[in-house]
Structure formats: C-alpha cells, structure tokens
Amino acid sequence: MLDQASENNRYREFVLKNRRSMNESMARILFFCAFAGPAIAVDRFLGYCNVSYTSCILMSLALVLLSLGQKVLNRYFPLSLWTVFWGLVGFMVVLTFMCNANVGVYITYALVPMVSLFYCEKFIYLVSVGMNYVMILVSNAMVSDFRFSLRTDFHEPLDWFIAVMGGYTIESIAIGVAGYYLCKRISNHFRSIYNSNVVLDQKYRDEEHKDRVTRAITSLYQCVYVVDLKKNTYEVVQRDNFVSDVVRDEDDLATNIERGVFALVENEDKRQMLEFLDLKTLPARLEKESMVYRECMGKLHGRVQLSFILVEKDEEGKPSSVVFTLRKVA
C-alpha cells in the first residue's frame, strides 16, 4: 500500500510538471491569438465585416494582458489551478466579447476544450467543457437580436437562439464525450510511459550498482578475462600493466596463453601451468566442478593463483563460457 501511494505521489508530481509546461504554452497561445485583432481590422478595412477598430484593439490588448498575466502567475504559482483557469477562462471571456462585437466565432469555440485536453487532467478538462458551454450560451444570448435581424426565416430572436443553441448543445456533448475519452486515454498513456521510465530507471540503478560491485571485486585481481570456449575468444574485464605488456589482443587466445606463461611464470612451474591453461582439456575438468584453480610462482607478482570459473554451458551440457582470473596469494 505504501509503495502504491508513493508511486501515485511520484506520478502526481509528473502530472504537475506537465501542468507547469502547459501553463507556459498557454501564455504563448494567448499571445499568438492577439494577432487576430489586426487580422480582423484588415478584414474590416477591406469591407468584409463591420467590426469596429476599437473592438479589434481591445481584443488584442486583452489577449496580450492575459498572456502577460499567465507568465507572471506561472512564475510565482506554476502549479495552482488559478493559473490554469486564468488563461482558459480569460480566453472564453475574450471570445464572448468578440461575439458581442459582431465577430463571427464558430470553430474557435472548441479551442479552450482542445487546449485543456493537453493538461491530461480530467477535472480541468470537464470544468473547461462546462464553462465553454456556458460561454457559448451567454455569448449567443447577447447577440441573438443582432443575428435575428440578419435572418428572415425566424419569427423572433428566441427562435434563432433556440435553433442555434440546439446545434451547439449537440456539438458540445459530442466534443465533450469524445474529448473525455481522449483525455482518459492520454492520461493512461502518460501513466504507462511514466511507469516504464520508472522501471527503466530502477533497472539502470540496479545495473549501475552491480557494475560497482563487479569493479570492486575485480580490482582484487591482477587479471580477469571472460573466455568463450566455443569461439576461442576472450573479453578483457580487468588486467594490470604487467599483463597488458605481455598480452597482445590482436593474437589468438592460445598464443597469448603460451606467451603469458613464458613471460610471467617461473621455469619450474611452466609445464604444469601450460597443462592447467590447456583450453582443450578445460571443458572436461569443468563438467563436474564449477571452478578449477592452480597456484604457481610468478616472475613479477610472486606466488599467484590462476582459476577458471564456469559461467554457462551449452545445450549439450558442456562448458561454453568461463571466467579466467589471476591474483596474488602471497
């Protein structure tokens, strides 16, 4: 239960970071939308609409102020819901003003619910959809007389309002339900990505810990190799300068073993060391043992112990991979 609670808390921190990032994006969106004012003014200049220049200036000014306010709030209260709804509700208010100023607002009504989706929080999305519908209701009620005057197929403004809101209601329900499932899916996807990252991060820390343990253990040895008996190759894990000076990695394994014995082992122990290091007989020696070792007198290291440690066997049960080590014993 504690682990689950801790995981939920960490995921909540992940969501709040996304909230902060979205608040920053919202400030940019509001600033970009401020250019709608000059665009509508150009439209008015060309004679395609009857929106006043004052309204164009006011809507641009309002959006710029909302953008600046969003930045300030996000700086001091980045995780607060007040910061979230400052931009969302503020934009709704501007849309209502635009409707009242005779700007034809249609698709833009869906912008607030769409942006709120990316917060990946169902509460924020549902509140935004509800308030957006109220904004549509209020703005269309305010312009019903004007819109009615442009039509000849309605008897009174209320008829126009009911007809228009009927369509907007159906669209709002459809968008709201579809968006809710999208929000739920996005949230689940985010949680899945977050959990995957947590697992990968834990695996990385585990592997890092194992690597530190391995380095600590191998530092006790003068030489550690992983030997592939099937391919007759080796991988260097650890070796000191004396061994490095003797072994040439470009040569084959058998050549390096013979060179190493003659360079590092005293004469009286050379024969038994060559026998011990014979890779042809090694699989038979490791069939019943997980490790074989032999001690000898080294020229540089004094008395040393050489060992082969079984790592894995093939399908037939024969040793296929071993670790070779060399360490001082006296």
Contacts of 289 (CB under 8 A, 6+ apart): 310
105 in the Ramachandran plot: left (φ > 0), alpha (ψ -120 to 50) or beta?
Answer: beta
Q: What is the pLDDT of residue 11?
A: 77
pLDDT per residue over 212-253, tens digit each?
A: 887 787 777 878 888 888 888 888 887 777 676 677 766 677
* Confidence at residue 12, expressed as pLDDT on a 0 to 100 scale: 82
Nearest to 87 by CA among 131, 140, 134, 141: 131
Stretches in the chain below the pLDDT threshold 70: 1-8, 242, 244-245, 249-251, 301, 330
Joined together, the tokens standing for residue 263 give 């360079």
Query: Rg of the Cα trace of the chain?
Result: 38
Distance separating alpha carbons of residues 243 and 104, to the nearest angstrom: 83
List the domain boundaries for the chain.
2-202, 222-328
The structure's pTM equals 0.64
- What digits encode the pLDDT tens for the residues 143-189? 888 888 888 888 899 998 999 999 999 989 998 999 999 988 888 88
Q: Which fold has domain 222-328?
A: Beta-Lactamase (3.30.450)
